[in-house]
Amino acid sequence: MERMTGMDAGFLYMETPTIHMHTIKAAIIDPATVPGGYTFERFREVLGERLHLLPPFRRRVVEVPLGLHHPVWVDDPDFDLDRHIRRVVLDRPAGRREMDRAIAAVASTPLPRDRPLWEIVVLEGMPDGHIGFVAKLHHALADGVAAAELLANVMDLEPDPPDPPVDPSGGADWQGEPLPARRQLLWAAVSEVLHGLARIPALLWRTLQSLLRVGRRRRHADVSPPLPVLDTPNVSFSTSLTPRRSFATTTLSLDAIRAVKAAAGVTVNDVLLTLVAGALRAYLLDRDELPGVPLVAGVPVSTDRPDEVRRLGGNKVSNLFTALPTHLDDPVDRLAAVHEVTVAAKEVHNLLGVDMLADWVEFTPPRPYAYLARQYSRLRLADRHRPPINVVVSNVPGPREPLYIAGARLESIYSVGPVLENIGLNVTAWSYLDQVHVSAIACRDVLPDLGALLTAVEAALVELQEALGTATTASGAAPAPRPA
């Protein structure tokens, strides 16, 4: 039995009939090199053999009576692999759009709470004989960093590797552990709550000092990041949600993004934020709703330290808030503005402390938080105030070497987190080899045509390349650089 952190538990409390707090990971593989070829039965067998390398996949949530403390993780004594995997055969001819629609359907339903919080849907009937594996993981289970480590734990660096590490159980049937008794849960909860309350005075003092440092910086700095709610404009996708989701993907050249980065003296993350800004500018212009001020983006930031051991579960993440200058027409000016504000956002984030959010959410009261979240969704209160931010934009650096699983080569991987009431768009970039795979998720009844938005992301990259002189011609040479 292991207590959930406040951050992990918070993702459970936030879930409502219209807010699905799972993340989506879609891996596309080429099974051409699999000995004997691909079959769904073989996939099930391989996954079963490697489940011991995915510890969170066998843990389920157990609530504490009366909601006195955060729930606990328990190794599920009733674990059944067949309750977590299924397959979908796409209508032929299937392409990217058909794949995206199938993933949207997977994303539109919540995960049941009576079992470990994940499922994998296998997509068959894809072009070139490729197979899609769509993993739906509850955010309480893992953040982007932990999910990447889970992926690495079951992947190989060669098509014909040595046998994976042996299951410590010797392949015996899974036993799990007995669900804890009510008295055990209550005693542990009361003891831990009382111990935690003793930390509040020091946390209050540390928070006050951090806020004073941020206040001094805002008074004297030339550039400051936006303030959620206060600086956030209203747009059409900042509204209440329904359960239905739309999903779309595209693929960009990592070399092209790095060339833009080098030419402008910025970061890869700055370029990706600028591409999203350019795409949203085009999208909002087409609908005659472009605000005269920048949109506000939340950027998830891992709080893992370089010397920490690999995590195979849980969340260690904070958020910084930056501006997407959709009001600027020139793409180079947009990139410069993104870089300037994001540097300031990182400074503010460090002044507040990367662990500040995690420290405070430890004291989230389970029952009141979950009740308020449900009422907020049910009453559609998101329609009655300005959004805290407009969009979530994530960037996950992926592996630079080709990966394999059971002899099949990983061709691409897409990942995206949830959308929230009033924050109706989430865009995530995940690099792999020499490509950046971008995916977006939204509420289907609010933002149905995400494909057009991601096509605009592609166009925004071309626009930046041409403006900075980094686009290559047919002969491979770069055109003359843009005049200063």
* Cβ–Cβ < 8 Å for 260, 464: yes
Give the count of alpha carbons within 13 A of 389, CB side only: 21
Q: 75 forms bridges with which residues in the sheet?
A: 59
Q: What tokens appear for 273 in the block?
A: 């934020």
> Of residues 22, 139, 339, 437, which has the active-site annotation?
139
DSSP string of 258-301, one letter each residue: HHHHHHHT--HHHHHHHHHHHHHHHHHHHTT---SS-EEEEEEE
Give yes or no for a contact between 323 and 338, defined as CB atoms under 8 angstroms apart: yes
Q: Amino acid identity, residue 337? A: A
Contact 433, 400 (CB under 8 A): yes
Return phi, psi of residue 206, to 5°.
-65, -40
Q: What residues form DSSP beta bridges with 317? A: 302
d(CA 442, CA 426): 7
DSSP structure class, residue 36 = T
Alpha-carbon gap, residue 415 to 147, rounded angstroms: 10
DSSP state, residue 402: -
Three-class HEC string of 170-231: CCCCCCCCCCCCHHHHHHHHHHHHHHHHCCHHHHHHHHHHHHHHHHHHHHHCCCCCCCCCCC
Look at residues 307, 394, 317, 320 and name the one whose alpha carbon lies nearest to residue 358. Answer: 317
Contact 49, 156 (CB under 8 A): no
Count CA within 13 A, CB hemisphere, residue 126: 22
Contacts of 271 (CB under 8 A, 6+ apart): 257, 260, 261, 264, 335, 464
Residue whose pair of structure tokens reads 């200058």 in the numeric block: 325
**Extended strands (E) in 31-128:** 59-62, 72-75, 85-89, 118-124
H/E stretch holding 41: helix 40-50
From the centroid of its chain, how far is CA 290? 26
- 220 is annotated as an active-site residue: no
Burial class (CB in 10 A: 0-12, 13-18, 19+), 138: buried
Query: Which residues are designated catalytic?
Result: 139
